[in-house]
A and B are shown apart, each in its own frame.
Chain A
Amino acid sequence: NAGVMQNPRHLVRRRGQEARLRCSPMKGHSHVYWYRQLPEEGLKFMVYLQKENIIDESGMPKERFSAEFPKEGPSILRIQQVVRGDSAAYFCASSLRTQGPSRYEQYFGPGTRLTVT
């Protein structure tokens, strides 16, 4: 059973370009979380999605950032018009359930390291 997959693992963008980060959850998981880790810091929650629904986007910057998790295919975190401050590692995690203790168990992907030049 493959784990959470993220691609690309490394992404370099110039200021003003768009960045698209993909996350394929574990097989059977329909809940995805995105976190951002700035250099030398812990992870910060960005958004929680279920298939075709954004449940909690309280950690998403108000502008330029968007996320989706379509019925088919991976979850996408999209950053428009990137700036140097967007340089960070972006992690996604998936979980299986919304009921019972298992809903708190998350499995993290290896992350995408975004560098904005």
Chain B
Amino acid sequence: SQQGEEDPQALSIQEGENATMNCSYKTSINNLQWYRQNSGRGLVHLILIRSNEREKHSGRLRVTLDTSKKSSSLLITASRAADTASYFCASNAGGTSYGKLTFGQGTILTVHP
């Protein structure tokens, strides 16, 4: 099985609700990153959390990291229709001195107006 598995695979919510996506990984990490990808487009970097951090905020985004469980979660609060996209976690393996990333399968988020 692969590093960076995400749950759920798809999430459908109403505008204004919160969206939570989870990610698991298998090896030690230097950091874990979250990206957004709109349909057929490139990736947009959302947030990076280092292995010694437990929580990080950026606007409506909140990321947590639990290294004991090798898991991370991304919370989007007060969602908007424009948040509709695929969300990927990507881990940078511990001991790696460069930015090589291992991506999860992604969560498809649909926010209904």
Contacts and interface: CB of A to CB of B under 8 A. Distances in A.
Interface string B38-65: 0011111100101000000000000000
Interface residues of B, number: 26
Interface residues of A, number: 26
Summarize A's interface: helix, strand, loop or mixed. strand
Interface string A69-104: 000000000000000000000010101001001011
Contact of A104 (B44, B92, B105): B92
B103 A42 contact: yes
B88 interface: yes
Contacts of B48: 104-105
B103 A44 contact: yes
Interface in B68-113: 88, 90, 92, 97-106
A56 B99 contact: no
Interface in B1-22: 4
Contacts of B35: 108
A42 B9 CA distance: 11
30 contacts: A33-B99, A33-B101, A41-B105, A42-B4, A42-B88, A42-B105, A43-B43, A43-B88, A43-B90, A43-B101, A43-B103, A45-B100, A45-B101, A48-B100, A55-B98, A56-B98, A91-B43, A93-B99, A95-B99, A98-B98, A104-B30, A104-B48, A104-B98, A106-B45, A106-B99, A108-B42, A108-B45, A109-B42, A110-B42, A111-B42
